[in-house]
Chain A
Amino acid sequence: MTAVAGCCRTLELKYGIPTAPLSTIAFQNVVQEDREFFGVPLRFTYAPHPVVSMPPSVLRGYIEGNDPVTGRRLVDEVLEALTKPYTAEESANVAIARPALPEKQRFLKGDTEENLQRLFVERGWTDGLPIILPTEERVAAMLTGTSQPLDKVVSKAFMVDTQENLRVTVEQVAIVAVMAGAQPEYLPVLLAIAAAGQPAIQPSTLPFASAILVNGPIRNEIGMNSGMGTLGPYCQANAVIGRAWTLMSIVWGYARRKRTFWTSQGNNYTYNNLCMAENEGRSVWEPFHVQKGHKPEESVVSLFRGWNLINSMGAAARRSWGEEVKLQMQALPALYSGATLILDPMLARHLKENENFQTKLDVSRWISENITMTADQFWKNDMIDMLVAPLAASGVQPYASWQKLPDDALIAPYHRPEKINIIVMGGETSPLWKVSDLDYMGSQSVDKWRK
């Protein structure tokens, strides 16, 4: 919604072009907040919700039907928005002056544990599970996990819903770490995650998933599981680190329901964000963080974002691994060529020793060259239409060329091998794997946050 308002403001104020912005009723409060913040009286007209997936006849009915906010015919409001002169009253600047926020109090009002637990739930500071109350004593103990001062700023962010700047300090990360159940030795990993400035729960209408990968010595020092059951609920470090990232989103305000968080169904992965460590000791290939330019002895956190994770349900006994992977990856959008494959060390060893994939990049290249889908399948994915079609229209290759192809033409949508991430983990019970559309968002050093 904010992009519609922003573009219309620019058209009105910079280009002198009258606009009639449209929104669905679901985002009326966001429109109102935008008006209060900027003061510019854009004349929004509201349609029923949703627009997406509605047949043309229904949408025509929206146009000739009533705006659900005003009760007036929608098309009449649009015509009026473009032709009726602004009155002085309508043009009044209604931006609400925002007083400086009161300095945040460091402590909550004292109460019983039961009442404080309830307070955390009522204020939306939990993921629905019980939290450890962040007492001064517990937070102080957590801070022994880092040499950094408690008031050091770890990250800053802009909150689009409240139009506020957010500042996160080492102490705030330590508080969330306590709430999630972390040990002090996990804190450097959590500080590195917080320093990335990326929310685990992406403000969106879409059910995003996020993922954490830890590489380097700290994996074993803090007892992360990169072996058997690595992505299951069997390890405190994996469970708590992943949970803490989500609590950061919830407590700090990235994920406010019907403010920035609109996804109808959500994504279960956001409970602990697929928190994982690479099984560097059993992998036949270079660790992920080394691929990204870090030294093997560095400890590094890497973050990913996508939607889906597809498990191999067998070990490719009746079909080749490549054929299985092809079927799985054709079900994913191939957005910007991004993908992540998580291979058991046993499978990685097989691919190296028997299939001649000497490096991870060899695997990525094979995928890039061999996985195809029709142009029609690619372009009719909503994400591709929203995010890639504008690139094609701007002449960005290969998308511009792909858009000119007939529907049944085959394309290789994973066209950038460097965007296809390979991670090795698992307990070598079976040569299994997982395929996902997780896209790499970047890495952060853990070491600078350590004692």
Chain B
Amino acid sequence: MATDTFSAVLDPEAQRTPATEDSGAGLSSWQMAPRLETLHGKTLYLVNQGFGGSDIFLEQFQSWFAENMPSVKTVARRKTGFIFRDDTSDLWKEIKEKGDAVIFGVAG
């Protein structure tokens, strides 16, 4: 291979800038939801995001609660809307009205 020096080869990468505007990045203030004192007597939504196997995984959670914490009412639901977006509102409103907490997944 030739050993001549190439002194003017262009960098092929595109120009990048941090995406901070409108992205929600580094929110300056927020408040996590208050945690429950106990799950007993509460309604727990098991929300399947829609990836393969998530429904069966959450069914197993439902069985585990029935066997080990029967006072917890579990409701298995699938996320509405598009699987890859945070575009759900109907189910979240239902949970706000009827539920107390959410197990959500499974990413992967």
- Listed in ascending order, the chain A residues whose CB lies under 8 Å from chain B are 1-27, 30-31, 37-41, 47, 49-54, 56, 59-60, 62-64, 75, 78-79, 82-86, 91, 93, 95-101, 104-108, 110-114, 116-117, 120, 125, 133-137, 139, 158-159, 162-169, 171-172, 175-176, 179, 251-253, 382, 385-387, 389-390, 393-394
Which residue of B2, B12, B83 contacts A390 across the interface (Cβ within 8 Å)?
B83
A3 touches B15 (CB 8 A): no
Smallest beta-carbon distance A85→chain B, Å: 5
Which residue of A3, A106, A164 contacts B10 across the interface (Cβ within 8 Å)?
A106
- Listed in ascending order, the chain B residues whose CB lies under 8 Å from chain A are 1-20, 23-28, 30-39, 44, 47, 49-54, 56-57, 59-61, 63-64, 78-86, 88, 92-93, 95-96, 99-108
Which residue of B5, B7, B36, B103 contacts A22 across the interface (Cβ within 8 Å)?
B103
A60 touches B12 (CB 8 A): no
Known: A18-B35, A390-B82. A56 touches B59 (CB 8 A): yes
A-side contacts of B31, CB under 8 Å: 13
Which residue of A7, A59, A175 contacts B12 across the interface (Cβ within 8 Å)?
A175
Q: Majority SS of interface residues in chain B?
A: loop
B79 and chain A: residue at smallest CB distance: A7
B32 touches A101 (CB 8 A): no
B-side contacts of A106, CB under 8 Å: 10-11
A8 touches B26 (CB 8 A): no
B93 and chain A: residue at smallest CB distance: A15
B38 and chain A: residue at smallest CB distance: A83
B104 touches A16 (CB 8 A): no
B17 touches A101 (CB 8 A): yes
Smallest beta-carbon distance A168→chain B, Å: 5
Residue from the set B8, B39, B79 with the largest chain A CB neighbour count within 10 Å: B8
A387 touches B83 (CB 8 A): yes
**Cα-based distance from A95 to B106 in the complex (angstroms):** 24
B52 touches A386 (CB 8 A): yes
B8 touches A110 (CB 8 A): yes
A59 touches B5 (CB 8 A): no
Smallest beta-carbon distance A7→chain B, Å: 5
A-side contacts of B15, CB under 8 Å: 104, 166-169, 172
B64 touches A133 (CB 8 A): no
> How many contacts between A and B, using CB within 8 angstroms?
313
A46 and chain B: residue at smallest CB distance: B108
Which residue of B34, B56, B63, B83 contacts A18 across the interface (Cβ within 8 Å)?
B34
A253 touches B14 (CB 8 A): yes
**Cα-based distance from A63 to B3 in the complex (angstroms):** 60
B108 touches A50 (CB 8 A): yes
A and B contact pairs by CB, cutoff 8 A, 19 listed: A1-B107, A11-B95, A13-B27, A17-B96, A20-B103, A23-B107, A24-B106, A52-B52, A60-B60, A60-B64, A107-B8, A158-B19, A172-B15, A176-B12, A251-B13, A252-B14, A389-B50, A390-B78, A393-B80
A-side contacts of B95, CB under 8 Å: 11, 15, 17
A165 touches B83 (CB 8 A): no
A112 touches B6 (CB 8 A): yes
Smallest beta-carbon distance A72→chain B, Å: 16
B26 and chain A: residue at smallest CB distance: A95
4 more A-B residue pairs beyond the given contacts A136-B8, A136-B9, with a C-beta to C-beta distance below 8 A: A5-B107, A19-B104, A56-B56, A393-B80
Smallest beta-carbon distance B108→chain A, Å: 3
Which residue of B13, B28, B35, B52 contacts A86 across the interface (Cβ within 8 Å)?
B35
B1 and chain A: residue at smallest CB distance: A114
Which residue of B5, B34, B86, B104 contacts A112 across the interface (Cβ within 8 Å)?
B5
Which 5 pairs from chain A and chain B are nearest by CB? A22-B105, A24-B108, A95-B26, A6-B86, A110-B7
B-side contacts of A171, CB under 8 Å: 10
Known: A4-B104, A23-B108. A10 touches B79 (CB 8 A): no
